[in-house]
Amino acid sequence: MSAPTSTVSAPATTVGGPSLSPIRRMALGAPPGTVSLALGEPGWPLPQVAREALRDLGGTDARLPYGPNSGRPDLVEAVAAFSARSAHPDGSGVSPEQVMVTSGSQAALFALFQAHATRGSDVLVPDPGFVSYVSLAGLCGARAVPYPLGPGGDLDAEALVRTLGTTRHTSVVVLNHPANPTGGMASARGLATVAEACAGAGALLVSDEVYKELWLDAAPVGLHDVAGVEAGVVLGSLSKAFGAPGLRIGWAVGDPEALAPARLVHNAMTTAPAQPSQDAAVALLGAADRVLPGAREHVRRRWATLARVAPGLSATAGAGPRAGFYLWLPLPGRVPAVETEAFALQVRDESLVTTVPGSAFGARGAGFLRVSLGGPLEELEEGLRRLAPWWGA
Ligand SMILES: Cc1ncc(COP(=O)(O)O)c(C=O)c1O
């Protein structure tokens, strides 16, 4: 008997074969009892205001309608008011038309890429950088062009502008600061330089600032602090500093003309953000002055745990943390960069702790592991204890 032939057509070439994210790949086949220092999400409790909003779901009105495509007006207003706290040099604030509420900032990225990363164009992405930027560009039939970062993963605006000069047609330029996976930052001058270069090249500048509120000593500068709302689209999220990744609420703030086609994509994909999540989002944004300092305390406690439990790892990583919860850890000197993934797997299988091999974030990430300090404190302590001996620490 001949083997049955599939009646399912081949996937679109932009989608390609099934592939797992590096984080999921590290989790797959992990021995029982493995502690994860791989996931990039907060391990502290959902803030009280959000829990109350979810408990009070719908109030006395038992209906749960779709709601407006672009998010509920009260949430759009809340995002505008929140974003205006840091924007904007000329004092004009942020208006609701400049806000797109999305199902996580991931959906904002997807919608913006689909709307602007034209087939055959180039999309400039940080290397090392958040893995989604490359796959999202691929889904559009665009080419991801990596640009190098400066020391400590900071934005090197000149290097970015040089890369921009080598491409034929760049549709989108992505910045991420504070950065995943390096924790790198951007200076006001660097942001202004990139904004000017993107305007000159006719490229949409997307500034992913989802870790911006998780600073330790001083608030980082954002694109809209430096160059007005028209200079580019800034992404924010409830997933990191607001401690609520499962709500799947994020946003994009920028020029209404840049957002308009992305809104169509987002509507086509999701219809509207989930209503219960929007209730909790309004509550969280309304309580930002209490929730965010609390989140920064959670993050400080995690970096202090690293210094206490594994000071050798902290010293290996060099200059102290400035924002976010990622430790960007060079491999022990004896391990060559080409063995980054093999080393991460060996550590996982022999010491039962997962990290993410830096090579997953781009070619320039080889030679590093990304260690997330974001998770629950007891797991973090145990994971660091298992990790440290590999560095003789
Ligand atoms: C740099 C960066 N941008 C965007 C996202 C997406 O976050 P969310 O969709 O939960 O808002 C993440 C998630 O890890 C991230 O690290």
In the structure encoding, which two tokens stand for residue 42, read together?
A: 């907060």
- Are 283 and 351 members of one domain? no
pLDDT computed for residue 24 by the predictor: 79
Kindly report, residue by residue over 339-384, the tens digit of the pLDDT: 999 999 999 999 999 999 999 999 999 999 999 999 999 999 999 9
CA-closest candidate to residue 253, choices 230, 275, 221, 227: 230
Q: Is 6 or 146 the better-scoring residue by pLDDT? A: 146
Ligand 1 within 6 A of 239 CB?
Answer: yes
CA 104 to centroid of ligand 1, rounded, Å:
7
- The pLDDT of 162-179, averaged and rounded, is 97
- Are 267 and 337 members of one domain? no
- Are 279 and 322 members of one domain? no
CA 365 to centroid of ligand 1, rounded, Å:
18
CB-CB neighbours of 46 under 10 Å: 17
pLDDT computed for residue 244 by the predictor: 98
pLDDT computed for residue 167 by the predictor: 94
Ligand 1 within 6 A of 121 CB?
Answer: no
Q: Is 64 or 188 the better-scoring residue by pLDDT? A: 188
Residue keyed to tokens 């996976």? 181
Nearest-CA residue for ligand 1 atom 16 is: 180
Mean pLDDT estimate for the chain:
93
Residue 378 identity: E
Q: Is 23 or 32 the better-scoring residue by pLDDT? A: 32
Ligand 1 within 6 A of 245 CB?
Answer: yes
Beta bridge pairs of residue 330:
368
Total count of domains within the chain:
2
- Are 295 and 177 members of one domain? no
Percent of the chain scored above 90 by pLDDT? 85
Percent of the chain scored above 70 by pLDDT? 94
Among residues 238, 264, 287, the one where a domain terminates is 287
pLDDT computed for residue 23 by the predictor: 77
- Are 275 and 190 members of one domain? yes
- Are 204 and 325 members of one domain? no
CA 105 to centroid of ligand 1, rounded, Å:
6
Instruction: Identify whether 17 is part of a domain.
Output: no
Ligand 1 within 6 A of 104 CB?
Answer: yes
Kindly report, residue by residue over 307-329, the tens digit of the pLDDT: 999 999 999 988 777 999 999 99
Half-sphere exposure of residue 232: CA atoms within 13 angstroms, side-chain side: 33
Kindly report, residue by residue over 44-86, the tens digit of the pLDDT: 999 999 999 999 876 566 688 899 998 999 999 999 999 998 6
Residue-by-residue DSSP string for 282-338: HHHHHTHHHHHHHHHHHHHHHHHHHHHH-HHHHHHH-S---BSSEEEEEPPTTS-GG
Instruction: Identify whether 1 is part of a domain.
Output: no
- Are 36 and 58 members of one domain? no
Which residues, 6+ apart, have CB-to-CB distance to 149 below 8 Å? Answer: 126, 127, 128, 155, 156, 159, 179, 182, 184, 364
CA-closest candidate to residue 238, choices 259, 219, 210, 257: 210
Nearest-CA residue for ligand 1 atom 6 is: 106
Ligand 1 atom closest to the Cα of residue 238 is 11
Ligand 1 within 6 A of 184 CB?
Answer: no
Instruction: Identify whether 387 is part of a domain.
Output: yes
Structural domain that includes position 177: 50-287
Instruction: Identify whether 135 is part of a domain.
Output: yes
Q: If pLDDT is split at 50, 70 and 90, which confidence band does 87 have?
A: low
Asked if 374 contacts 41 with a C-beta cutoff of 8 angstroms, the reply is yes
Kindly report, residue by residue over 199-241, the tens digit of the pLDDT: 999 999 999 999 999 999 999 999 999 998 999 999 999 999 9
- Are 172 and 158 members of one domain? yes
- The pLDDT of 142-156, averaged and rounded, is 96
Ligand 1 within 6 A of 176 CB?
Answer: yes
Cα gap 100→80, rounded to integer Å:
10
Asked if 111 contacts 265 with a C-beta cutoff of 8 angstroms, the reply is yes
Query: Distances from the Cα of 157 to the Cαs of 7, 126, 187, 241, in angstroms?
Result: 50, 11, 9, 26
Instruction: Identify whether 3 is part of a domain.
Output: no
Supply the CATH number for residue 26's domain: 3.90.1150.10
Q: If pLDDT is split at 50, 70 and 90, which confidence band does 284 have?
A: very high
Among residues 255, 287, 319, the one where a domain terminates is 287
- Are 148 and 283 members of one domain? yes
CA 330 to centroid of ligand 1, rounded, Å:
23
CA 106 to centroid of ligand 1, rounded, Å:
6
Asked if 263 contacts 96 with a C-beta cutoff of 8 angstroms, the reply is no
Ligand 1 within 6 A of 277 CB?
Answer: no
Ligand 1 within 6 A of 182 CB?
Answer: no
In SS3 terms, 156-182 reads as CHHHHHHHHHHCCCEEEEEEECCCCCC
At residue 193, does pLDDT exceed 60? yes
CA 133 to centroid of ligand 1, rounded, Å:
10
Q: If pLDDT is split at 50, 70 and 90, which confidence band does 20 have?
A: confident
Instruction: Identify whether 148 is part of a domain.
Output: yes
Q: If pLDDT is split at 50, 70 and 90, which confidence band does 189 have?
A: very high
Q: If pLDDT is split at 50, 70 and 90, which confidence band does 15 have?
A: confident
